[in-house]
Amino acid sequence: MDIKRRLIIYNTLTIIIPLIITVIIAFIFIFVSSEFLGSNINYNSFKKATFINSELLNITKDIAKSDNKSIEDEDFKNYLESKLSITEGKIIITKEGTVLYLSEDMNNIDIANSLEQTKNKSKRPLFINNTYYSLSSFSIEFKDNSTGSVVFLIPIGKESDIFKKLILSILIVFFASYVIVSIAVSYIFSRKILIPISLLKEATAQIKIGKLDSEIVESGDTEIRELCSDFEEMRIKLRDSIYMKTKYDDNRKMLVSSISHDLKTPLTSIEGYVHGILDGVANSPEKLEHYLKIINIKTKQIDAMINDLLLYSKLDLGQIPFNFEKTDIGEYFSYCVEESYAILKQFNIDIKVENNLTLSKYFMIDRERFRRVILNILDNSRKYMDKDNGEITIFIRENNLSIIIELRDNGSGIEQENTNKIFDRFYRSDSARSNAKGSGLGLAIAKQIVEGHNGRIWAISHGSDGTSILISLVKM
């Protein structure tokens, strides 16, 4: 539920609940008073009470319209008495202080008491002939501009008394229940909003002190839920960015130490051979040529390493655009194999392609960059070959969504637990470090290139029987 709707509902409840309570209490009141107190509170008695009030007003108007003479008229008196008989009341009319007219059955004491009480504006009921009367008086101005007053004495019935009590009770019950319901509703409303907000506050306090692992749970109304979900998104982004920053920092440190280490080895050896030449150790033309050849090889190694590093960091930053071309994958691999066949043969390694593609033939690849991937994998198979009869087989097969290229060799193999690590930059197994030459960037570059083709690259270890490097590419 959203806060606006909740507010409307709660405000409506604040009015409706007291109304319902008041109606129920009024019914109970009427039921109790008519069943147990014998009073007759119904529509008719209510009508009677209102009727009496309106009759009194009419009589007052009539008196004000008439003059001395007509008030003393027998007809007018009869008219007044007939009107008053409905209410069973009495009347006293005074003009300029003297009594002009009064109902029968009233003795002087009653008249004096009535006028005294009217003068004093007393609300006390008057007791005449075993009946309590309530007094109401009106000032009037006669036609001859003289002033006077009309005093009505209306018998106080049980009903009118109960009516007053009923109306009073209704008002009290309504206001009391209104106050109680308002307080209860405000309390519930504030809890519905305050509890989720305090939870959110706690969570943000955790974020503030750098604890980014506790999830912000969505609770409360729509707006607060949205706020929680925004905070949760922010927490995840913040956590990820801190994680990435730490990872980048670690990588940078590793990169610097790896570069300095890997460059130092060939540089030290170049330095050694140069010193050898300068110190005259290379004292024959053959020795000199040998030293220079080694220096040349080491220089090329450094050059290749720096080129690989540059390529890797450019790929990592997404600065190298791919030039995708529609390519017949079977033909492409045959060409790659042809290209490396001669070199591999020198190391007594056989290479062949098993193309099992039947449905798909063409794929969008950057031929030049993909060639680099394949050559590095083949180069690894050559470098880490420990068998006399080396074998490399390239299997190309397909499933519904993609093709899988598997380059399998029967070399020294890699340990099962290192199959993921070999794609990390600068990773080289201990044996690789001591034997063959390389910087440990080849497969990291291959991974960048394959992922640039929306593909995946992974390795399967066959133990000491060799290694498979697999590449999957999504079908066009």
Q: Would you tell me which residues interact with Mg ion (CB under 5 A)?
A: 376, 380, 442
DSSP string, 137-149: EEEEE-TTS-EEE
The interface with ligand ATP within residues 320-379 (CB under 6 A) comprises: 376
467 touching ligand ATP, by CB under 6 A? yes
- Could you give the count of Cα atoms lying within 13 Å of 245 in the half-sphere of its Cβ? 6
40 or 468: whose CB is closer to ligand ATP?
A: 468
458 binds ligand ATP (CB under 6 A): no
Contact status: 435 vs ligand ATP (CB under 6 A):
no
CB 77 within 8 A of CB 48: no
- With CB under 6 A as the contact rule, the residue among 414, 449, 450, 473 that binds ligand ATP is 414
| 83 vs 421, beta carbon nearer ligand ATP | 421
Closer by beta carbon to ligand ATP, 118 or else 439: 439
Give the position of tokens 């600065």. 319
* Residue 464 beta carbon to Mg ion: minimum distance, rounded to whole angstroms: 19
Nearest residue by C-beta to ligand ATP? 442
Nearer to Mg ion, 196 or 442 (CB): 442
- Alpha helices, H only, 384-452: 430-434, 442-452
Q: Which residues contact 87 (CB under 8 A, 6 or more apart)?
A: 52, 55, 56, 152, 154, 155
182, 38 Cβ separation under 8 angstroms = no
Give the nearest distance from C-beta 458 to ligand ATP in angstroms. Answer: 12
Can you say how many angstroms the Cα of residue 117 is from the centroid of all Cα atoms in its chain? 72
Q: Can you name the residues that pair with 396 across neighbouring β-strands? A: 355, 405
Residue from 101, 362, 427, 458 in contact with ligand ATP (CB under 6 A):
427
| Residue placing its CB nearer to ligand ATP in the complex, 230 or 303 | 303
For residue 308, the minimal CB distance to ligand ATP (Å) is: 6
| Residue among 219 and 468 whose Cβ is closer to ligand ATP | 468
- The answer to whether 301 contacts ligand ATP (rule: CB under 6 A) is no
Phi, psi (degrees; rounded to nearest 5) at 269 = -70, -35
Among 432, 450, 471, 473, binds ligand ATP (CB under 6 A): 432
Q: Is residue 312 close enough to count as binding ligand ATP by CB under 6 A?
A: no
Angle of the 3-35 helix axis to the 158-208 helix axis, nearest 10: 150
User: Distances from the Cα of 347 to the Cαs of 13, 63, 64, 164, 433, in angstroms?
Assistant: 90, 139, 137, 118, 20
Using CB atoms, what's the residue nearest to Mg ion? 442
Please report the sign of the dihedral spanned by the C-alpha atoms of residue 434, residue 436, residue 438, residue 440. Answer: negative
CB of 397 to ligand ATP, least distance (A): 20
56 binds, among Mg ion, ligand ATP, none (CB under 5 to 8 A by kind): none
Burial of 62 per CB tally in 10 Å (0-12, 13-18, 19+): middle
Q: How far is the CB of 444 from ligand ATP (least distance, A)?
A: 6
Q: Residue 204 in contact with residue 191, Cβ under 8 Å?
A: no
User: Which of 266, 442, 452, 455 forms a contact with ligand ATP (CB under 6 A)?
Assistant: 442
Return the number of the residue (198 or 260) whose C-beta is nearest ligand ATP.
260
- Cβ atoms of 180 and 13 within 8 Å: the answer is no
Region of 101-109, 136-144, 243-251, 410-418 interacting with ligand ATP (CB under 6 A): 410-418
The answer to whether residues 429 and 418 touch, using CB atoms and an 8 Å cutoff, is yes
The option from Mg ion, ligand ATP, none interacting with 428 (CB < 5 to 8 A, set by class) reads ligand ATP
**Residue ranges binding ligand ATP (CB under 6 A):** 308, 376, 380-381, 383-384, 409, 411-414, 422, 427-429, 432, 438-444, 467
